[in-house]
Amino acid sequence: MDFGYTPQQEALRREVRQFIRDNMTPDLAEEMDVHANAERPRGTSPSAHEFYRKIYERGWLGITYPKAYGGQGGDRLTQYIVEEEFTRAGVNIALNGSGAPAIMAAGTEEQKQYYIPRLIKREISFCLGFTEPHAGADLANLKCSAVRDGDYYVINGQKMYTTAAHSATHIYLMARTDRSAPKHDGISIFLIPMDAPGITVRPLWTIQNNPTAPLPTTYGASRTNETFFDDVRVHKSCLLGEENKGWRVGSMGLNLDRVGASRYLISVRRDEDIVNFVKSTRFDGFEPGKDPAIRDKIAEMWIEAQVCRLMTMRSMSIVERGGKFTYEGSAEKVWAPEHGVRTTEAITQMLGPYGSLLRTSPHAIEDGVFAHNVMGSFQSGINHGSVQVMRDQVARRGLGMPSSRKSRKAEG
């Protein structure tokens, strides 16, 4: 066991911090922020491109990807360290949610050569087209269809919660290619440009919608989308992996999305915020940092946050050794999001009515970030596999629990 970083890794961390201090301006921070105002596509201005180019030149984009595809051929822990520092500064350098892991694993040589370097340099970006109105947790129930027509597929259907569909250049789409097969066996994955004729994106406004959303907010953007496919014709070369084998490709990509620095950090940053806030705050005669009940709760949440960190480290250690998760990724995806909710709710009870003030309100504290998080903290427990589905996986894959009579029947 080794719970520390090497001097080289510590030096790298300092180097990244210094780079951020040297290059990040307030304007750029707002432009780059992971969860900035969702109406404006993020990180697409000339100054943002310039910033990413500098990061790329330092060798900090696509660290774990092979050099042949524009990456650095580095290890996952290096990626983690760099990603953690950039995420703290509000900059997304990770390639999760991008389809890149799945393309690397299942793509043709041509697809890898085309997509991976462009994704790494952030010249293109993917949104995720998985969920449908009647296929959420039970994703394999999806209906969006892709029908083969010569060298083409014709796609029809509706995708929900396609976050960033309005700014992404491509969509990573899961569609049904065989209606007669059992539900998991008739699914394929497609990589499709968003400008393909027949694609329509409509905004869905979330409860977090606030035209002057606080920066940086922890949980998600205020806008997501629904995306419609009306007779969208795509060439068969858009298929990722084999036809009807898309379920495995898609779920593998999701598994890799569930771990990493950014997923863990979104669940623990409020813990740091509240500690740093109570250290320096008093409301007239009330000093929250001196209240024994508040101190006890803060410490309790801090310990939970450490468990989030250590579970992430465990996932890193497994991947770094070339192993596979049995349940560890799923456990992390239960523990971290639920902690994020617990700590957010605990903080509201420390702050009382101040906790409800949004950014634009008089007397708002910390840019209203705590109030904003009340509306968004549970999002991380819903997306990319709900915590209930994740618990099923911990129990069944990790502990070998039998499946229920009902699901045994359903699976035939």
Among positive and negative, which fits the CA dihedral 405, 136, 271, 61?
positive
Stretch that binds another protein, among 104-112, 233-241, 252-260, 329-337 (CB under 8 A): 329-337
By beta-carbon proximity to another protein, the closer residue of 45 and 281 is 281
Say how many C-beta atoms besides its own lie within 10 A of residue 237's C-beta: 14
**What single string gives the DSSP state of each residue in 288-336?**
GGG-HHHHHHHHHHHHHHHHHHHHHHHHHHHHHTT---SSHHHHHHHHH
Per CB under 8 A, the segment of 94-102, 240-248, 304-312, 348-356 that binds another protein is: 304-312
Q: Which is nearer to another protein, 16 or 364 (CB)?
A: 16
Nearer to another protein, 224 or 267 (CB): 267
Smallest gap, in angstroms, from Cβ of residue 139 to another protein? 18
Return the residue of 114, 152, 228, 302 that touches another protein, per CB under 8 A: 302
- The closest of 158, 146, 121, 318 to 240, measured between CA atoms, is 146
Binding to another protein, residues 70-89 (CB under 8 A) = 77, 88
Q: Is residue 307 part of the contact set for another protein (CB under 8 A)?
A: yes
Q: Is 327 in the site for another protein (CB under 8 A)?
A: yes
Q: Which stretch binds another protein (CB under 8 A): 52-60, 157-165, 366-374, 385-393?
A: 385-393
By CB under 8 A, tell whether 245 contacts another protein.
Answer: no
Nearer to another protein, 160 or 313 (CB): 313
Tell me whether residue 13 is exposed, middle or buried, using C-beta atoms within 10 angstroms of its C-beta: 0 to 12, 13 to 18, 19 or more. Answer: middle
Is 318 among the residues that bind another protein (CB under 8 A)? yes
Q: Which is nearer to another protein, 75 or 231 (CB)?
A: 75
Residue 207 to residue 227: CA distance in whole angstroms:
19
Could you give the string, one character per residue 87-106, with x where binding to another protein holds by CB under 8 A and - elsewhere? -x------------------
Which residue matches tokens 């000093």? 287
Residue 409 near another protein by CB under 8 A: no
Distant-in-sequence, close-in-space partners of 340: CB < 8 Å, separation ≥ 6: 218, 219, 266, 267, 268, 270, 377, 378, 380, 381
| Cα gap 282→191, rounded to integer Å | 53
Residue 174, classed as helix, strand or coil, is: strand
Binders of another protein among residues 13 to 32 (CB under 8 A) are 14, 17-18
* Per-residue tokens: 212: 């002057």
- C-beta of residue 370 within 8 angstroms of C-beta of residue 378: no
> Minimum distance between the CB of residue 337 and another protein, rounded to whole angstroms?
12
User: 90: phi > 0 → left, psi -120 to 50 → alpha, else beta; which?
Assistant: left
Per CB under 8 A, does 275 bind another protein? yes
Q: Of 46-54, 142-150, 163-171, 316-324, which part binds another protein (CB under 8 A)?
A: 316-324
- The answer to whether residue 392 forms part of the interface with another protein (CB under 8 A) is yes
Nearest distance in Å: CB 336, another protein: 11
Q: Which residue has the tokens 């994704």?
A: 119
With binding defined as CB under 8 A, does residue 314 bind another protein?
yes
Please spell the DSSP secondary structure of 342-408, one letter per residue.
Answer: HHHHHHHHHHGGGGG--TTSTT-SGGGHHHHHHHHGGGGGTTTS-HHHHHHHIIIIIT-PPPPHHHH
Chain contacts with another protein (rule: CB under 8 A): 1-5, 9, 14, 17-18, 77, 88, 268, 271-272, 275-276, 278-279, 289, 292, 295-296, 298-300, 302-303, 305-307, 309-311, 313-314, 316-318, 320-321, 327, 331, 334-335, 388, 391-392, 394-396, 398-405
